[in-house]
Structure formats: structure tokens, C-alpha cells
Amino acid sequence: MFSWKERQPAEGIVVAPDERLPWPQTVALGIQHVIAMFGATVLGPLLMGFDPNVAVLMSGVGTLIFFIAVGGKVPSYVGSSFSFIAVVIAATGFSGQGLNPNIPVALGGIILCGVALAVIGLVVMATGAGWVERLMPPVVTGSVVAVIGLNLASIPIKNMAPTAFDAWMQAVTFFAIALVAVYSGGLTRRLLIVVGLVLATAIYALLTNGLGWGKPIDFKLVEQAAWIGLPKFETPVFDLKAIVLIVPVALILVAENLGHLKAVGAMTGRDMEPYIGRAFLGDGVATLVSGSVGGTGVTTYAENIGVMAATRIYSTALFVVAALFAILLGFSPKFGALIHTIPLPAMGGVSIVIFGLIAIAGARIWVDNKVDFTDARNMMVAAITLVLGTGDFTLSFGGFSLGGIGTATFGALVLNAVLNAGRR
């Protein structure tokens, strides 16, 4: 598991999962993967009010757990999943600013979500993954993924721009990210969220700290924070309402992991199907462990697939290096304090881009899998699911409520099963 055949660097070389470049290049490329995941792994916790130090630390721990679960055969980084944002906000009543005082309530649900995903992984290891693909065909997974982005759309618009100046700064932020995405190349394009956020923060600082147009950035926390120290761990609380809201996210994690393994298999030319169940198990255990100390639920990351596609280096050694570097960052309070200096409207602008990209990712699943919308079954599943999630359709069961993400997910599954009953 921890041995790789060494390859010498050369122009156009392709490095397989069980190979590696010399260690200096491997370390540098591993750190690049940390940078690639940085924007999403830090942004997700901030939107839910989690401590970013704990989230980054547990993304490193989770990546090592995933690596061990798949026997070191699947190149992947796991980090904070955006699938949890809507349900965590609903379960905790978080306002979108600062640290979330009700994090323990969400953690119980995250832990049991991890347990559910791990159980699904064990079942797949015993029976194969065919039933998962029948239960969640592309029309279902695409609809559910799109709904996550659409359901979250109102958060940055309503909660992260309290003044007219802040709204304009949101616009500056998403324009900066769009310009980076279109007119840059190479690693800069891969890091478009981070680069765009840095540009927007610099403009915000110039207009506020320099010209006094808005609330200035306060760097006192960064100056006072220690370089090394323990992050703020939390103890879970198991609340039934939160559990009912959060556990169904396991189905979305199934779709994310399944798509990730198919993408990695296509890039590497390796058969990843034998590792599907083990990937579910690894992600489930990583989510369980993360939630037990105050971290977010985790999932495999598309950003790191992008880096692999650009470099054609698929060595799993990179992700061991990346995990260890992320763990080091997690133990730096100064790093966490620096993250908290990011202006709220800049985070809002990034959120607009991220949530939009999630919605488009769902549509891309339809396109890549050539979903036939002339088929009334597919049309009904997608149409109803999108409106349930976007409109936050809620069903109540006694004292419990199932919000938009939950009703859309289960609605898509049930609709697909009922409308395709008896169909080969």
C-alpha cells in the first residue's frame, strides 16, 4: 500500500496510481493538491459556521482513511462536502456569519450519515454496485446534484450582502472569478476560486481600509493567533430532528463517490469498479470520524481530479503527502485566523459561483450520460425534483420536517422507481 515504483520526470510522462516521481517532486505536487482543494474545503465549513482548522485537519485525516480503505489504489482527496450545507443550516438555524453555536446538533447527524454510507459500502462490497446504479441512474443523480446548488442560491443573496456596498462587492467577486476562469490558464485556472477570492479581498481592503467605504478588515486576530496550537474540537449531540435532515445526504455522497471513481477510471485506464464499495466505506468512516470531533462531512473532490487531468500524474503518493500537509495546517491557529479575515461579501460572491457550478454539475451529468428528456419518465423525475428542491418543499411527520434537499432526493428516488416499475 505504501510502496510506489519510482519514475523519472520527463515531458509528457504519465504516472500511474502505483507509481511516483522522485520524492521532492512528489512533495511539491502533493502540496499543489492541497492548494487545489483549499477553496472548497475552507469555504464549505465557513458557510456552515464550522472551525476551518478542524475541517482542514479532518480532511487530511479523512484522506488517509480513504487511502487505507481502498488499499492505496484510488487517487483521491476527500474534503468538506457542500451537500451538507443546506441541511446543516436548516438543522442549526445558522445565520451565515461567524462560528455556528449549534454545531454539536449537526455533528450527531453527520456521524450517522457516515455510518449509513459505510453500511452502504459494506453491502456493495458483498453484493456488487449494480443495484446502486439502478437505484440512482443519471437522471436521478443529475437532478439531486443540481438541486443542491439551486436550494442554496438564496443564502448569499439574502444573508451575505447586508448593505448596497456589500452587494456590489459580491458582484466584483464573481466577476473576478469569472475572468480568472476564462482568461487564465494552467494552475491559475485550477485555483480560480482561491485566486478570485484573493483579488476580491484585495479590492475590498483597498476600498474599506484605504478609502473608508465599508467595514474594514481587522487583522488583529491574525496578529494575536499562535502559529501552532490545537483547533477547537466539539462534542456531538444526537438530536432526532437534525438526524432526519442530515442522514439522507448519504445518498448524495454515494452519487459523488460513484462519479469520482468513474472519472478516475476513465483517466487512468484502470478498472475502479472493484473499489466502489471500499470507497463508500472509506468516505463513510472518514465522515464519521470528522463529525465526532467537530468537522464537516467529507466527500471526494472534483478539484483534485482537475489537477490530475492537467498533470497526468495519478500517483496515490501525492494524496498521502497532501493529507499530511493538511493535518499540519489544521494545527495552526494563525491559519484559521487568516481565514476568518475574509470579508463576508467576498465569501458571498464566491458562494454564488460555487452554488451555480454545483447546479451546472448536475446538468452536466445529464449531458455526459445522454439522458433522454423526450422520455416522459426522465422529464417528470427531473422537473418535479428541481422544483421540490429549489422551492424548499417541506413535508412534516408529526414533530419532524423534511426540507427541500430531503424531499427532492427521496422524491427523485421514489418517482424513478415508480415510473420505471416493470421496465427492463
pLDDT band at 378 (very low <50, low <70, confident <90, very high): very high
Looking only at the bridges linking them, the beta strands covering 78-80 and 19-20 are unpaired
Contacts of 97 (CB under 8 A, 6+ apart): 159, 344
Residue 398 confidence (pLDDT) above 70: no
**What is the tens place of the pLDDT at every residue in 13-29?**
788 888 888 888 888 88
Distance, CA of 109 to CA of 96 (rounded, Å): 19
**What is the tens place of the pLDDT at every residue in 299-334?**
887 667 767 776 788 889 999 999 999 999 889 888
Query: Half-sphere exposure (CA, 13 Å, Cβ side) for 390?
Result: 12
pLDDT band at 401 (very low <50, low <70, confident <90, very high): low
DSSP string, 284-331: HHHHHHHHHHTPPPEEE-HHHHHHHHHH-B--THHHHHHHHHHHHHHT
How much of the chain, in percent, has pLDDT values that exceed 90? 25
Cell of 27: 512533495
How much of the chain, in percent, has pLDDT values that exceed 70? 93
- Residue 107: per-residue pLDDT: 95
Q: Which residues pair with 400 in a beta bridge?
A: 397
